[in-house]
Structure 1
Amino acid sequence: MSWRIPVTVLARITSTISWLYMSYSDKASIEQDVESGQRTSSTIEEVDHERPKEQTHEPQTPICIIGAETSSNLTEITGAGRDIPDFGILQLDTYDSERADSRRGVISGGSTGLIYLLPSGYVRKTAYPDSTRKQSLRDIEHEYKIYQRLPRHDLLLEMVGYSMEHGLILEYMPNGNLREYLQTKAADVSLDQRLQWACDAAEALHLVHSHNIIHCDVKPENFLLDSRLRLRIIDFSGSSIDGSYFSAVESARFCLPRPWEAPSSIVTDVFALGSTIYEIMTGTQPYAHCTDEEVEALFGEGTFPPVDMIPCGEVIKRCWHSEVHSAKEIWLSIKAEVQKLKDTTGEASAQLSH
């Protein structure tokens, strides 16, 4: 079966590849396609956020930097449903094309833009300064609106601030993303931990859906690990809110077979959740040694990897066959699976953390 990808998505993918190549040429390592990731650059550029304002294209517009000290006052961002610290702001630099083009301090790069680690310990997500900048700015603004709707929650990143020109300021997760952790520390991951992650992923997706948001790109790379090794769902730049246009495209192994023009939905997110849980339990993606085209053909025929002998196998199977229609149902099923494993093997924890 054939798939068609929107031109804007292809343009941003091409831009990403170009930036990554340039970064490797400069010996600056970029390691993960997420809002926050592991620090890899030796020089951190001092850039930061300001309060939302009208976008400007003047070359010498001041850029605000987070100062070393913070104010005890709290300022509520309209619609965010939470209080955001009012940082002491120091006007230390100006925005110009040379600064925008700099890759110093970049710790990540994806289809939407670049991620900088700030001196304050937060990260700044900003658009690429190239031909895709206009679309990237729209995507980042869209992500800001989604963070405004979502509540403060342990399964979400904290949004600290936003401006059209300077992007999103978000919480930094030094343990990286779930896929990298599974690949590099597989031997250290217990069954208890894997079950907790599966439960976290399902609960986080249910939280997103409960606010009328479809993620559209659920996969282990879009879950970060906090200091307690609990998951945080991320990357809403291509998500759909209230049925709006979405720009994200699921990866082949996380994509429910359907006509290319069919929209993403709760059901497609749940399918991707099934593949995510599969990777959590096995440490590998579904059909890891097949090409994307081969995976698309297999999935299109309704042929999926065997799951009978892995934890949560029945849950994964139901996700893949669209036999469940909510992430909450998966969340509750995983909790039941934990109790079942505890009763039969004694390996699973008696109670998952909440």
Structure 2
Amino acid sequence: MLARCDLAELLKEGKPNDELIHKCFGQIIEAVAVLHRLDIIHSDLRLAQILVDGEDNIRLSDFNASQYPNNVALGYEKATNCLPRDYAALNTVSSDLFVLGSTLYELTTGHPPYEELYADLWRGPTDDDDQLRAEIRRKHIADYRAEQQYKQGDFPDVSQVFGGGIILGLWNGTIISANDALTLYYADLS
């Protein structure tokens, strides 16, 4: 089945209904669990990398940055999704689980974690080098602030979000595998 769109595009059209969000939530966790069983770290999980087909099933895509046995990852997650760590070290299951939490947060809320830190960014294309340098500086500052909040355990509030306990557990490291997250997801559904 061909992809209809990716989840980022779907969210731009407006927040999907709860049934679709719940379905995608579980399928994303299941897809990451399969990757981890195969010793693959996606390394760049985000809504734009998750395709939705005509039957509203998801497919992970873009494995360019992925890490698999005997090969290092070629990339990292974006700052709003990323586990603060030594970026010279290999990506890990823990870093993939952290970004899974951020991806699920964006799916359920319709915006990335710490979106407010990026509110003043990107006013559009420019030929002005000074304006471009200032834009890059503002993004670096916002990335740094997001990373500091994560390091301090100051996560966005998920108390009123579907799967909030799973998202928080993925962020704070109390959920140590995608299989554990999947078990909690099924328990939340019952």
TM-score by length of 1: 0.45
Q: Partner of 1:240: helix, strand, or coil?
A: coil
Q: Partner of 2:116: helix, strand, or coil?
A: coil
Partners of 1:270 and 1:285 in 2: how far apart? 16
The answer to whether residue 4 in structure 2 is matched with residue 178 in structure 1 is: no
* 2:37 match: 210
Partners of 2:70 and 2:81 in 1: how far apart? 20
Contact 1:178/1:220 (8 A) holds in 2: yes
State the 1:293 CA deviation.
2.4
**Which protein has the bigger strand share?**
1
Instruction: Work out which of the residue numbers 257, 261, 273 in structure 1 matches 2:84.
Output: 257
- Number of residue pairs matched by the alignment: 166
* Residue segments in structure 1 that go unaligned for 5+ positions in a row: 1-170, 340-354
* 2:124 match: none
State the 1:299 CA deviation.
1.0
Higher RCO (C-alpha under 8 Å, 6+ residues apart): 2
Q: Partner of 1:225: helix, strand, or coil?
A: strand
Runs (4 or more) in structure 1 with deviation over 3 Å come to: none
* 2:169 match: 318
Q: 1:240-255 to 2 correspondence within 5 Å?
A: 240-255=67-82
Partners of 1:191 and 1:177 in 2: how far apart? 17
Instruction: Work out which of the residue numbers 139, 147, 150 in structure 2 matches 1:299.
Output: 150
Instruction: Work out which of the residue numbers 97, 103, 109 in structure 2 matches 1:276.
Output: 103
RMSD: 1.3
State the 1:180 CA deviation.
1.5
Aligned-residue sequence identity (percent) comes to 28
* 2:187 match: 336
Letter in 1 for 2:90: P
Q: 1:132-143 to 2 correspondence within 5 Å?
A: none
Partners of 1:192 and 1:266 in 2: how far apart? 28
The answer to whether residue 48 in structure 2 is matched with residue 197 in structure 1 is: no
* Residue segments in structure 2 that go unaligned for 5+ positions in a row: 118-141
Structure exhibiting the larger radius of gyration computed from Cα positions: 1
**Which protein has the bigger helix share?**
2
TM-score by length of 2: 0.83
Q: Partner of 1:179: helix, strand, or coil?
A: helix
Instruction: Work out which of the residue numbers 38, 46, 54 in structure 2 matches 1:227.
Output: 54
Contact 2:2/2:54 (8 A) holds in 1: no
Contact 1:195/1:334 (8 A) holds in 2: no
State the 1:303 CA deviation.
0.9
State the 1:199 CA deviation.
0.2
Letter in 2 for 1:227: G
* 1:32 match: none
State the 1:243 CA deviation.
4.3
